[in-house]
Amino acid sequence: MEPPAQPPLEDAAYARVAPMASVVISSRGVERILSGHPWIYRSDVRDAAGAEPGAIVELRDARKRFWGQALYSNKSQIALRLLTRESRPFDRAFLSERIRAAAAYREKVAAGAQAHRLVAAEGDLLPSLVVDRYGDCFVIQTLSQGMERLKPAVVEILQEIFSPRSIVERNDVPVRALEGLPEQKGTLAGETIQEVVVEENGLKFAYDLLNGQKTGGFLDQRENRAAARDYARGRLLDAFAYTGGFALTLARASESVVAVESSAEALGLARRNQELNGITNVEWKDANCFDFLKAADRAGERFDTIVLDPPPFARQKSNVEAALSGYHELNLRALKTLKPGGYLVTCSCSYHVSEADFLGAIASAALDAHRTVAVVERRTQSRDHPILLTVPETHYLKCLILRAL
Ligand code: SAH
């Protein structure tokens, strides 16, 4: 196959003075590509002598065969992130095509949601790029050296397609350190926005794009919040409530709601969201959910519906055992306070904890709580966070809806 041609030089983000560098990969690196995975580890790089940090490089095997184009990092263990198997230049037009394709898919699966993930990195064949949309405001994350270099082009393309009011970067995330990139956040284009209010599942939510957790909200739970609403009734407990996503979505279906969260900033926005929607039956509690559940059980409090949406317990593979005992503990306490016939919506966003292991931890919690529990729905992240069949890392969220018999 012919080597890719030089991208046009007038294209600022792509301007190169030297021809595109080749990186030579091992046969195991080639196997990774053939298995449908976009990451090639440093141990499978044979020669990257000519490659600049963050450059788009062509991949060759020892026999000089062309395998695709990738973003190169000289720091991360993930040395190469495949962009395409094609040889046509991965230029601005190509990048724009990928972003437009991602946006077109959101018109199908997130049409009613003003806040959604527009580009989900590997899941949209744009490794290490996240673009979240909050109405006419956009938040981006560029999580590799290569995507960091393409950031100006991404901003331009978003401006071209959407004419946004604001584009914010939330690159204040620790993974950037693995790439040797600094943590930074701020407005990249347009107005500096303090707060944006958008609709989700028929309710209004305020987001703080510069200071909120993640890019402002937990967009991956949108469909689960809507699904959980079908089962809510009576007295609801929303544990790990953040800014009230579940609590407020389920409030109208419930008699009363107790929402527990340990972040004061999150609770501030939660109260604001409650006001925006004229909801009056939610009580916010600034507390640790583990302690709250223990005390609630001791005090004999009982709930008809419980939502558990904790932060990731296992950020690394080595933490899986500890994470599973955390899930066991949390779900045990919740099941003890769940009324017979009640529903438990329980989530895990730790990629390293498989759905099978998560189900196992909850089964053992149910046994310990002397409860018989049925699985009503086995759910995952919202569809605007695509799961690639050959990239297990793209499937991270588990959301089980359970019924206590
Ligand atoms: N359910 C939310 C997202 C929850 S994210 C939604 O749908 O939007 C997890 C939340 O748990 C974060 O807001 C974090 O501040 C909070 N948190 C983390 N540990 C906690 C603890 N031990 N007790 C209470 N809240 C906690």
- Count how many domains the chain has: 3
With 0-12 CB in 10 A as exposed, 13-18 as middle and 19+ as buried, what is 38? buried
Mean pLDDT to the nearest integer, 24-46: 98
Pocket test for ligand 1, best of 246, 261, 293, 305 (most atoms within 8 A of CB): 261
Mean pLDDT to the nearest integer, 76-103: 97
Length of the chain: 405
186 and 226 inside one domain = no
pLDDT at 18: 54
Instruction: Read off the CATH number of the domain in which 163 is found.
Output: 3.30.750.80
Give the domain-ending residue among 161, 196, 231. 196
Mean pLDDT to the nearest integer, 158-171: 98
CA dist., res. 210 & res. 191, Å (int): 12
With cut-offs at 50, 70 and 90, classify the pLDDT of residue 9: very low
Q: Which residues line ligand 1 (CB under 6 A)?
A: 213, 218, 221, 240-242, 245-246, 260-263, 266, 288-290, 309-311
Pocket test for ligand 1, best of 242, 348, 381, 382 (most atoms within 8 A of CB): 242
267 and 166 inside one domain = no
Q: Which residue has the higher pLDDT, 217 or 17?
A: 217
99 and 77 inside one domain = no
137 C-alpha to ligand 1 centroid (Å): 24
How far, in whole angstroms, is CA 27 from its chain's centroid?
32
pLDDT at 275: 98
Q: Give domain status of residue 307, yes or no.
A: yes
DSSP string, 165-223: SEEEEEE--GGGGGGTPPPEEEEEEEPPPS-EEEEETTEEEEE-TTTSSTTSS-GGGHH
Instruction: Read off the CATH number of the domain in which 284 is found.
Output: 3.40.50.150
CA dist., res. 154 & res. 62, Å (int): 33
33 and 122 inside one domain = no
- Catalytic residue (choose from 137, 289, 347, 349): 349
pLDDT in tens, 386-401: 999 999 999 999 999 9
pLDDT in tens, 312-337: 998 899 999 999 999 999 999 999 99
CA dist., res. 238 & res. 111, Å (int): 27
Q: Give domain status of residue 397, yes or no.
A: yes
pLDDT at 330: 98
CA dist., res. 362 & res. 353, Å (int): 12
189 and 229 inside one domain = no
DSSP string, 145-161: HHHHHHHHHHHHHHHHH
Q: Which residues pair with 190 in a beta bridge?
A: 166
Q: Are 382 and 227 in contact (CB under 8 A)?
A: no
Q: Give domain status of residue 59, yes or no.
A: yes
pLDDT at residue 7 is higher than 70 = no
pLDDT at 14: 55
372 C-alpha to ligand 1 centroid (Å): 27
With 0-12 CB in 10 A as exposed, 13-18 as middle and 19+ as buried, what is 265? middle
With cut-offs at 50, 70 and 90, classify the pLDDT of residue 6: very low
With 0-12 CB in 10 A as exposed, 13-18 as middle and 19+ as buried, what is 348? buried
276 and 358 inside one domain = yes
252 and 341 inside one domain = yes
Give the domain-ending residue among 128, 162, 196. 196
Q: Give domain status of residue 177, yes or no.
A: yes
pLDDT in tens, 334-373: 999 999 999 999 999 999 999 999 999 999 999 999 999 9
pLDDT at 112: 86
Mean confidence (pLDDT) of the chain: 95
Q: Are 107 and 100 in contact (CB under 8 A)?
A: no
Q: Give domain status of residue 8, yes or no.
A: no
Q: Give domain status of residue 15, yes or no.
A: no
80 and 98 inside one domain = no
65 and 28 inside one domain = yes
Closest CA to 230 of 401, 405, 404: 401
Is 289 annotated as catalytic?
Answer: no
76 and 106 inside one domain = no
Domain that holds residue 57: 21-84
pLDDT in tens, 348-358: 999 999 999 99
Mean pLDDT to the nearest integer, 80-105: 97
pLDDT at 315: 86
Residue 243 CA, closest ligand 1 atom number:
8
Q: Give domain status of residue 205, yes or no.
A: no
CA dist., res. 110 & res. 325, Å (int): 35
Q: Are 173 and 33 in contact (CB under 8 A)?
A: no
CA distances from residue 69 to 6, 34, 78, 93, 127 in whole angstroms, order as listed = 13, 14, 15, 15, 12
268 C-alpha to ligand 1 centroid (Å): 14
Residue 311 CA, closest ligand 1 atom number:
9
- Classified as helix, coil or strand, 40 is strand
Residue 224 CA, closest ligand 1 atom number:
7
393 and 247 inside one domain = yes
> What is the pTM assigned to this prediction?
0.95
With a pLDDT cut of 70, the percent of the chain lying above it is 96
Q: Give domain status of residue 4, yes or no.
A: no
pLDDT at residue 103 is higher than 50 = yes
71 and 119 inside one domain = no
Please enumerate in sequence order all residues whose Cβ is within 8 A of that of 397, keeping only pairs 6 or more positions apart, or say none.
220, 221, 347, 348, 349, 380, 381, 385
Q: Are 253 and 241 in contact (CB under 8 A)?
A: no
